[in-house]
Amino acid sequence: MLKTEVLKINKQNPESDKIRYAAEIIKQGGLVVFPTETVYGLGASAFDMDAVRNIFKAKGRPADNPLIVHIADMKDVQLLAKRPPKTAMLLMERFWPGPLTIVLKKRKAVLDIVTAGSDSVAVRMPDNRIALSLIKAAGVPLVAPSANISGKPSPTKARDVLEDLNGRVDLIIDGGITKIGIESTVIDITNTPPTILRPGGITMEDIEFLIGKVGLIAFDISCKGIPSATVALRSGYLKSPGLKYKHYAPHAEVVIVEGGAEDVQEKIKSLADEALKNNKRVGIISFQKNARYKDCIVIFAGSDADAVARRLFSALREMDKKKVDIIISESLIDKGIGLAVSDRLKRAASYNIIDATTIRGIA
């Protein structure tokens, strides 16, 4: 068990002595949690085998799930990847620093443990001053998975991290609440067309506007109806191994109700009543400000996708604290950043989705 220290750092103007202190821990092979614009990351030197191994241990992360390498300077891509194709260069120039992770052919120097044996490496430049100055001060790229216990919702504030990783990391930098709230978009450029392995902070629409049609990896029927997506459901295409594991899961069972607003509210009420009758504590995640659900714990998680992105993971964690048995959630439109938010919600629910649509007059 480590003694975990928490250190507040100013996110606008990171204090250089504090950054140096944190970087020193990294240089000595320690684990430092730091904020990014998406979620908090559990960082270590990408070139320190033992430190990387300790990240997997601290998170309880399966060894076949590779890590993203974070850089602070565009030219450091060269340390990690073979000559990136033009598409990759366009994406970097347009979206870095920012919530886009690019999967590229890796260089030999990149440790196998980082890429889980794959010949490609995921690289991203975060848009957060603390993260950028820490990477620079450490003098090495940092691997950083989300700073949660594997399978739990990603942390959007230092307190979430402490709940999961107290005693498992050396330092947690508290840099306030993260700006975006869900993880980066992961795009694989090693194939044609490029394929989005995980929707995230940069929307598919923005990517397609820049580089043309891209594929979207999909694992089940939940991707039906996505507007411009080429659903790349090639069997066995598990490029992002992380996607196959249970994710973002609170203790409670999660159910999503889809359909028109009125139908959804009716359906949620009837599901809630049933659960209440069975003496269950019912939590409801709503995207409508004044939704009323009697005898339930209701969390309003915002009404537009950006707001929901910021609040979803913390709403799931909040429900755990309130010890609810079942979480019933309204659904989101799979468009823009809504695609990413909806993806996280569906994973949290293990794709337990109920269609509330009733055909009026017949039902």
Bond prior to 126 in cis (omega within 30° of 0): no
Q: Which candidate, 27, 11, 258, 50, places its Cα nearest to that of 158?
A: 11
Q: Which candidate, 301, 96, 130, 105, places its Cα nearest to that of 202?
A: 96
- Structure-token match 């430049």, residue found: 125
Crossing angle, helix 305-321 and helix 337-348, to 10 degrees?
20
Give me the least distance between CB of 315 and ligand TXA, in Å please. 18
Q: Are 247 and 122 in contact (CB under 8 A)?
A: no
Alpha-carbon span 104 to 14, nearest angstrom: 31
Nearer to ligand TXA, 152 or 267 (CB): 152
Alpha-carbon span 328 to 345, nearest angstrom: 11
Q: Decide which of Mg ion, ligand TXA, none touches 197; Cβ closer than 5 to 8 Å per partner kind.
A: ligand TXA
Alpha-carbon span 358 to 285, nearest angstrom: 22
Nearer to Mg ion, 122 or 299 (CB): 122
342 binds ligand TXA (CB under 6 A): no
Alpha-carbon span 201 to 289, nearest angstrom: 24
118 binds ligand TXA (CB under 6 A): yes
Give me the least distance between CB of 326 and ligand TXA, in Å please. 26
Give me the least distance between CB of 61 and Mg ion, in Å please. 8
Give me the least distance between CB of 303 and Mg ion, in Å please. 26
Give me the least distance between CB of 59 and ligand TXA, in Å please. 8
Stretch that binds ligand TXA, among 15-23, 36-44, 47-55, 208-216 (CB under 6 A): 36-44
Give me the least distance between CB of 250 and ligand TXA, in Å please. 17
Instruction: List contacts with Mg ion (CB under 5 A).
Output: 146
The values of phi and psi at residue 233, to 5°, are -95, 65
240 to 259, contacts with ligand TXA by CB under 6 A?
A: 240-243
Nearer to ligand TXA, 33 or 271 (CB): 33
Give me the least distance between CB of 332 and ligand TXA, in Å please. 19
122 binds ligand TXA (CB under 6 A): yes
Q: Decide which of ligand TXA, Mg ion, none touches 243; Cβ closer than 5 to 8 Å per partner kind.
A: ligand TXA
Give me the least distance between CB of 208 and ligand TXA, in Å please. 20
Q: Decide which of ligand TXA, Mg ion, none touches 122; Cβ closer than 5 to 8 Å per partner kind.
A: ligand TXA
Nearer to ligand TXA, 99 or 199 (CB): 99
* Edge-to-edge strands, sheet with 32-34: 5-8, 171-174, 32-34, 41-45, 142-143, 68-70, 120-124, 100-105, 185-188, 195-198, 215-216, 230-231
Nearer to ligand TXA, 46 or 328 (CB): 46
Bond prior to 66 in cis (omega within 30° of 0): no
Alpha-carbon span 125 to 97, nearest angstrom: 5
195 binds ligand TXA (CB under 6 A): no
179 binds ligand TXA (CB under 6 A): no
Q: Which candidate, 204, 180, 193, places its Cα nearest to that of 339?
A: 204
Nearer to ligand TXA, 161 or 356 (CB): 161
150 binds ligand TXA (CB under 6 A): no
